[in-house]
Amino acid sequence: MNIGESTRFAVQGVTSNKMRSALTTLGILIGVAAVIILVAVGTGSSKAVADSISRLGSNTLTVSSSSTTGGGRGGPRQPAVGGAGATASPNSGTKTRANQLTMADAQALTDKAAAPDVLGVAPVVSASSVTATYSGASHSVGTFTGSTSTYLLIDNDTVATGSPFTDTDYSEHRRVALLGVTVAKDLAGGDGTSIVGKTVAFNGKQFTVLGILTAKGSTGPQDQDDRVVAPATAVQDTLAGYGSLSSISVKAASSSTTSAAQSEVEAILDGRHHVTAADRDYSVFNSAALLSAATSSNATFTVLLGAVAAISLLVGGIGVMNIMLVTVTERTREIGIRKAIGAGKGDIVSQFLLEAVMLSLFGGIVGVVAGLIGSRFTIVGVQPVVAPYSVVLAFGVAIAVGLFFGLYPANRAATLRPIDALRHE
């Protein structure tokens, strides 16, 4: 007998008791949908964390001073980076203020021979409590960053309207600024683009707005677009003073060389600060390392969610087995008739096995649809991201469950002796 014939018998079996088949299918459906949705929630939360970390800048190292003593702002020190005086004496000032990061430190990191894996270096000075005013409107700036044009590259920033500042703006100490979308909108109203080219006062100091930075969105409560970026020279002149750097941003050549770049940065700075790994007066924050730690903890979370869902799929499978056993008992007489008129063992096995697989197949298909629909909604604050492997896996397991749990009842049906089966009422 061919498979088409067995399939027809199986369809007949499934449809002869629709309510029962539907309920059995529901067990598989819930299992499959749960696996897809819960894995999607896990994947979605991993992705959310990864996104917020990558917004910090990809392949980025941030060197910050770990000193607790406040940085002195006195002393007219000429910033060296980007300027013509690239040969500033390497140790100037580092002995007296060994625990501070300086422009010279930043300059040292650009040494291609000592740090071949470093693509770009940007010294960062920041000004706090800066209030911007523009034609009557005022806005308290969240982050006011002074740096070089390299900073925009490292921070993955682009200018949406207007143009970025240049190395010339930096070396000429030009008072120009790039505004975050939030700042621009708050000051100028509308989409904020009308402010480009105008002059804004930051704590009374006049800066010309060169452009508006592309929106970054917000992570949690923090608005990443509430910021201003300006040349470090101008910021030191006006708002921050000529003290130490608040940090140095370093971009590695690629994500695979981030760790190498970190070692190189540490080697250079250890030499310059006369410290070792044990008594380091600065710290290097590696976003890639943070990302991998966060990713691995999220992977555990996803596996746990998936395991809980897999249990419900297993329970659904036991439901299939239960119903198939009932079906076989109910249809013992029919099995006897079929065997009497010539059905072989294989014919009976394939009929009941197909019936079980059909239940789980249908449950699997509807479960995948339900899972995909369910994953479109935000669940406990996480936007689920459907992992294709989970769909394939859940569907495959559903079929396997049907096969596995259908095999025993089908086999039981097939080994019934025809005279016993015919005598059954």
Partner 1 sequence: MSAAAAPRPVIELTGVTKTYGTGDTVVHAVAGVDLVVERGDYVAVMGASGSGKSTLMNIIGCLDAPTRGRYRLDGVDVRRRAEATLSRIRNRKIGFIFQNFNLIPRTSALRNVELPLAYAGIGAADRRERALEALARVGLTDRAGHLPSQLSGGQQQRVAVARAIVTNPVLLLADEPTGALDSHSTEDVLALFDQLSLAGRTLVVITHEADVARRAKRIVRMRDGLILSDERVAPLAGEPVGPRAQAELAS
* CA–CA separation, 266 and 283 (whole Å): 9
Closer CB to partner 1, residue 71 or residue 418?
A: 418
Closer CB to partner 1, residue 169 or residue 334?
A: 334
Give the tokens for residue 293. 């730690």
Give the pairing type, strands 227-231 and 205-213: unpaired
Interface residues with partner 1 (CB under 8 A) are: 1-2, 5, 12, 16, 333-334, 336-347, 417-419, 422
Q: Return phi, psi of residue 9, to 5°.
A: -60, -40
Closer CB to partner 1, residue 16 or residue 300?
A: 16
Closer CB to partner 1, residue 336 or residue 364?
A: 336
Least distance (Å) between residue 344 CB and partner 1: 5
CA dihedral 91, 94, 96, 97 (to 10 degrees): 170
Give the tokens for residue 423. 């005598």
Q: Return phi, psi of residue 77, to 5°.
A: -105, 135
Closer CB to partner 1, residue 95 or residue 333?
A: 333
Cβ-Cβ contacts under 8 Å for 90 (sequence gap 6 or more): 104, 108, 272
* CA–CA separation, 372 and 359 (whole Å): 20
Q: Return phi, psi of residue 357, to 5°.
A: -65, -35
Least distance (Å) between residue 16 CB and partner 1: 5
Cβ-Cβ contacts under 8 Å for 19 (sequence gap 6 or more): none
Least distance (Å) between residue 25 CB and partner 1: 20
Q: Return phi, psi of residue 132, to 5°.
A: -100, 135
Closer CB to partner 1, residue 274 or residue 417?
A: 417
Least distance (Å) between residue 347 CB and partner 1: 6
Least distance (Å) between residue 341 CB and partner 1: 5
Least distance (Å) between residue 7 CB and partner 1: 12
